[in-house]
């Protein structure tokens, strides 16, 4: 179960970044969920769900209707990749713990020590991701 949760979180993050890079690259156009889904190679429903989430976070704007689509709502220089990670990963990716044996001298301390380790790993990951803006990351694509 833990692997599925981590994979789902990573997929959400990858999908969100993909959407944001596309909206930055096509900044003068409204882009549709179908177009984005074609680039990511996933179902447009998944894209629309993620767009809704990014819109609620203030990163994406959307125009409804036949001529509608989405657009980047914030300056890409002001969007840190770590912020995107935090937005789509509401809980620590690593923080799934076992129900250890409280009588075992190791087991009764394991979760507390793992939480410390996982929290540090999460902080280090976010710190590393925050070294790059969406604009900088987007510039890595032709």
CA distances from 37 to 48, 80, 125 (A): 9, 23, 27
Name the pTM for this structure.
Answer: 0.82
Q: What domains, with CATH codes, occur in the chain?
A: 2-138 (1.10.10.10)
pLDDT tens digits for 39-65?
999 999 999 999 999 999 999 999 988
Q: What is the pLDDT of residue 5?
A: 41
Beta strands in 33-133 (DSSP E): 60-63, 69-72
- Which pLDDT band holds residue 121 (cuts at 50, 70, 90)? confident
Q: What is the mean pLDDT of residues 105-123?
A: 87
């Amino acid at each position: 179960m833990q692997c599925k949760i981590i994979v789902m979180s990573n997929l959400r993050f990858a999908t969100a970044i993909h959407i944001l890079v596309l909206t930055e690259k096509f900044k003068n156009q409204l882009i549709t969920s179908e177009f984005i889904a074609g680039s990511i190679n996933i179902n447009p429903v998944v894209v629309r769900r993620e767009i809704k989430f990014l819109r609620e976070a203030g990163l994406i704007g959307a125009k409804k209707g036949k001529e509608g689509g989405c657009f980047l709502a914030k300056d890409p220089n002001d969007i840190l990749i770590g912020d995107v990670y935090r937005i789509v990963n509401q809980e620590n990716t690593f923080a799934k713990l076992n129900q250890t044996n409280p009588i075992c001298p190791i087991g009764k301390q394991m979760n507390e020590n793992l939480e410390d380790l996982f929290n540090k790993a999460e902080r280090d990951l976010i710190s590393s991701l925050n070294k790059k803006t969406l604009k900088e990351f987007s510039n890595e694509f032709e």
